[in-house]
């Protein structure tokens, strides 16, 4: 049988009867910021507000339901992310054991969340591949069901229920932009949408550091990307042909675009979206997709499980790019009150001190001098220039301004 025919609209409709008892019907929200920026009508499918924080719950619920009595011995998977959370939640819902294998060093927050859902979490190995192999071994040893994160018809059908909601809530949609990792979500959504509205274009978005569907080579070793949730190195045996059959195109976005998209969603949409979930916004904001005129484009925000450790760096980068950070290095007299007077010149011009360090080692200084490295918050590039002018007017030498 042609693999393209193994998942159809009827499978997705049947999956909805199961998933709707657990998964939320997530909202479609207008995006004034992106609409203004692009000159087109843009909406957001906020799947980041789903239970467990991502779309994966839809596929996990449908998979366990499809197993029936086959799940009685428990389920297992190798995952350090949203699939692990979804499977643990689904296993608790069905009352079956769940073993999750994660690489050593996986995010503590996700490990603890899986345990809170009742899963047995085992940390081993240095890579996800080792964790998946261990899950397969556990399944064989104890008669548990191994649950693949995307390459499974029941999972694809479950993820496709998002597409049914989208058509109901936004029947005027002309283009759907969806994150593309293993392909379960993208293909499921495309089948659900295009089976009902054939004229709608569905575009998949990958991270450029790992973009096999966009023609990139499969990288080796760990992949350092903000969009780690879609960093799947090879298309699935099932999902690969489905993506090729149902999607109208695939684009790839770089890390800077992903970072900008995450901040834009926090700042302008008040949505907390992980890198993998924000790639569609990155693609649209970067102009990589031709948006339809006089029609609506909907971007799927697939997940909201942001690594909290990433957020300060995102904000610092954004503030610097927007000209709201002033980082300077200067040499001043090493006498009582000199530092206070120097900082006072900045404060008098409205700059807010964030951090200051003395530099006395490894720099060429007179015995009565000290180096100072300081970071200030300013309102705009124009304000930054005004602050530097005020420092000069106060009698201090022009500090060396850092560009990043």
DSSP helix/strand/coil, 97? coil
Strand partners, 352: 377
Determine the Cα–Cα distance for residues 159 and 238; give it in Å rounded to an integer.
14
The two beta strands, 201-207 and 173-179, are parallel
Are the C-beta atoms of 203 and 247 separated by less than 8 Å?
yes
201 is catalytic: no
Instruction: Answer for the pair 62, 92: CB distance below 8 angstroms, yes or no.
Output: no
Say how many residues make up the chain.
404
d(CA 48, CA 46): 5
Q: Is-contact 286 164, C-beta < 8 A?
A: no
C-alpha distances (whole Å) from 100 to each of 103, 115, 200, 363, 384 are 10, 9, 38, 52, 51
Quick one: which of 217, 225, 214, 218 has its CA closest to 186?
A: 214
Q: Is 56 a catalytic residue?
A: yes
* Active-site pick, 45, 56, 63, 201: 56
User: First CA to last CA across the chain, in angstroms?
Assistant: 56
120-123 and 98-102 as β-strands: parallel, antiparallel, unpaired?
parallel
| Residue of 207, 201, 205, 216 lying closest to 178 (CA atoms) | 205
Helix axes 239-246, 184-196, angle to 10 degrees: 40
**DSSP labels for 25-76?**
-PPEEE-HHHHHHHTSEEEEEEGGGSGGGBTHHHHHHHHHHHHGGGGTT-EE
CA distance 40 to 253: 20
Catalytic residues: 56, 302
């Amino acid at each position: 049988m042609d693999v393209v025919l193994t998942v159809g609209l009827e499978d997705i409709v049947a999956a909805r009867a199961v998933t709707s008892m657990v998964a939320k019907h997530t909202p479609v929200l207008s995006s004034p910021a992106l609409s203004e920026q692009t000159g087109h009508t843009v909406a957001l499918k906020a799947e980041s507000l789903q239970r467990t924080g991502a779309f994966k719950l839809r596929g996990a619920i449908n998979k366990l339901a499809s197993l029936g009595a086959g799940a009685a011995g428990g389920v297992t998977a190798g995952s350090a992310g949203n699939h692990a959370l979804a499977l643990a939640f689904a296993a608790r819902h069905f009352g079956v054991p769940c073993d999750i294998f994660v690489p050593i060093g996986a995010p503590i927050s996700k490990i603890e969340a899986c345990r809170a859902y009742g899963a047995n979490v085992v940390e081993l190995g240095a890579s996800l591949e080792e964790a998946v192999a261990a899950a397969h071994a556990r399944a064989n040893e104890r008669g548990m069901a191994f649950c693949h994160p995307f390459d499974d018809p029941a999972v694809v059908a479950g993820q496709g229920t998002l597409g049914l909601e989208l058509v109901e809530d936004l029947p005027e949609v002309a283009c759907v932009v969806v994150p593309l990792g293993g392909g379960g979500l993208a293909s499921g959504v495309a089948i659900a949408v295009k089976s009902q509205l054939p004229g709608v274009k569905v575009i998949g978005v990958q991270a450029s550091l790992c973009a096999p569907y966009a023609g990139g080579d499969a990288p080796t070793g760990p992949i350092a990307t903000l969009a780690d949730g879609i960093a799947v190195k090879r298309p699935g045996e099932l999902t690969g042909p489905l993506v090729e059959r149902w999607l109208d195109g695939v684009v790839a976005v770089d890390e800077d675009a992903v970072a900008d998209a995450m901040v834009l969603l926090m700042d302008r949409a008040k949505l907390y979206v992980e890198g993998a979930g924000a790639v569609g916004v990155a693609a649209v904001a970067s102009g990589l997709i031709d948006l339809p005129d006089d029609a609506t484009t909907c971007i799927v925000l697939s997940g909201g499980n942001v690594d909290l450790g990433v957020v300060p760096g995102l904000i610092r980068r954004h503030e610097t790019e927007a000209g709201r950070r002033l980082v300077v290095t200067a040499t001043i007299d090493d006498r009582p009150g000199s530092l206070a007077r120097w900082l006072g010149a900045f404060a008098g011009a409205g700059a807010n001190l964030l951090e200051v360090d003395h530099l006395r080692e490894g720099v060429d200084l007179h015995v009565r001098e000290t180096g100072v490295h300081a970071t200030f918050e300013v309102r705009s590039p124009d304000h930054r220039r005004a602050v530097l002018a005020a420092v000069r007017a106060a009698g201090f030498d022009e500090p060396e301004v850092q560009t990043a």
